[in-house]
A and B are shown apart, each in its own frame.
Chain A
Amino acid sequence: MRYSGLKVITEGLFGNKGWKPAWRTPDPKPEYDAIIIGGGGHGLSTAYYLAKNHGFTNIAVLEKGYLGSGNIGRNTTIVRANYFLPGNSEFYSHSLKLWEGLEADLNYNVMHSQRGLINLFHSDGQRDAFARRGNSMINQGDDAILLDREGVREHLPYLDFEQTRFPIYGGLLHPRGGTARHDAVAWGYARAADRRGVDLIQNCEVTGIDVENGVVRGVQTTRGSIRAKKVAIVVAGRSSQVAAMAGMRLPIESHVLQAFVTEGLKPVINHVVSFGMGHFYISQSDKGGLVFGGDIDFYASYASRGNLPMVEHVMEAGMTLMPMIGRARVLRSWGGIMDMTPDGSPIIDRTDISGLFIDCGWNYGGFKAVPASGWCMAHLMATGESHPVAEKFKLNRFATGHILDEEGTGSQHNLH
């Protein structure tokens, strides 16, 4: 069923009785041409582009819980293309272009809102670094505007500009940056993949990966064994466990990242604002809640909840930056498990096992990457070659020294 304005009106007139489930609930077949392990954003987009761009017709996505139960439904929805390093820059640029056509492509409203992202800076040195980043964004073909303090004030008059610790010197505005509705991205890709015949199999946990003589043969699951010619591991925070099923040890440490939302308020924050020095960022959802967060909790964790010190730290940073939010009441906080790499950049690559591919290491920035990651992973699985915009995301780059350390913080997993 195609969604359209006309469909909404006619369904409204006739009691909304004609809507069908957005996707089927098939049982697993004995064999697929390609199996994607993990029904998060990246797994679903990989399946969709395998079908759409490469003509695969016999694909399954195996998800241990329900679709969107992982980080894709837990993130703070920021979409941007403001990376600096060659390797990252072209990839996120490609992703943002896919975002801009995504709703039409998927026939689904993902509420992509290019409301502008402002990264604040607080010293002369930081201004230089942001000017340099902005130039690299412009060289990549994306947009960036360096704002001085008065320029920031025009956009964000409610900030405390004179705070003693980090007075605001200016900001880097990325007008095409913004947000999208996270669940809708999962649902939109799921529905579009299903419409192209992809089997989305929920409550199906992969418990083993079958490898014979260095070639992948299929997977063991809680719903039986399934054969496959190609298998992709796309499980974000659980990458180490699933890769271990194929005897691999990954350059990943899993960490918990928390986020928070307040009660719904009238529109007050129009942009995405990030206050890196305070480890705080914020936007306002279309429902009115202020959605905000900070850094990871910093210790390895698989608990989908964090600890109070980081809650306190994020609240303090928010109050420092914009005291006006002090009377908003926090409704909820939660956590998600982040697959942190030693350079903060992702991995989209084949493995030493023929037919087995891996897409992981998204740290806390994998939401914006959902379209391009699926696009490039599908390209790799279908053609055997890395897509040009993802060719630096190699699994062995730590061994060869070709690291992509965007923040320049060194090889400690939790510092990215």
Chain B
Amino acid sequence: MRLNCPHCGPRDRREFYYYGAAAYLDRPSPDAPAQAWDDYLHNRDNPAGMTQDLWYHEQGCTAWLKVTRNTVTHEIIAVDAVATPKASGGMA
């Protein structure tokens, strides 16, 4: 498995740290109801097929990346840099 980092080019899977579903980017506001935080931290769509998840180029440019890929075939469709943090908080 290779990820095509937008900054570093195609790199071996071993250089990357997997964090979880890209839903992590939609961080609720601090005063959001507990239900929203439960959903955010724990519940997942967990699709068999196309998914988007977050990877960290730990041994490369250290950027957070949003990877579009297929969980059944392991095919990588797209690797995009995570945009700047959103006003509501975004990625820490």
With A398-B42, A412-B19 already in contact, the answer to whether A303 and B72 are too (CB < 8 A) is yes
Contact of B12 among A238, A309, A342 (CB under 8 A): A309
A325 CB to nearest chain B CB (Å) = 23
Given contacts A307-B74, A309-B14, A399-B34, contact A412 B20 (CB under 8 A): yes
Chain B residues within an 8 Å CB radius of A254:
46, 48, 71
CA of A411 to CA of B37, assembled, Å: 12
Q: Does A298 contact B (CB under 8 A)?
A: yes
A252 to B41, CA, bound (A): 11
Alpha-carbon distance A302/B51, docked complex (angstroms): 11
Given A241-B48, A253-B20, A300–B43 Cβ distance below 8 Å?
no
B42–A411 contact, CB under 8 A?
yes
Give the size category of B's interface with A.
20 to 34
Instruction: Name which residue of chain A comes closest to B40, CB basis.
Output: A411
Q: A301-B71, A307-B13 are in contact. Are A249 and B44 (CB under 8 A)?
A: yes
Determine chain A's interface SS by DSSP, over half rule: mixed
Q: Once bound together, how far apart are the Cα atoms of A267 and B21, in whole Å? A: 44
Contact in complex: B46, A303 (CB < 8 Å): no
User: Is B80 part of the binding interface, using a Cβ–Cβ cutoff of 8 Å?
Assistant: no
In order of increasing CB-CB distance, the 4 nearest A-B pairs are A240-B46, A251-B42, A398-B42, A399-B38
Q: Is the beta-carbon distance between B38 and A398 smaller than 8 angstroms?
A: yes
| Least CB distance, A414 to chain B, in whole angstroms | 6
Q: Is A309 a contact of B13 with CB atoms below 8 Å?
A: yes
By beta carbon, the residue of chain B nearest A248 is B43
A414 touches B20 (CB 8 A): yes
Q: Which of A241, A300, A342, A398 has the most CB of B within 10 A?
A: A300
Cα(A302)–Cα(B21), bound, Å? 14
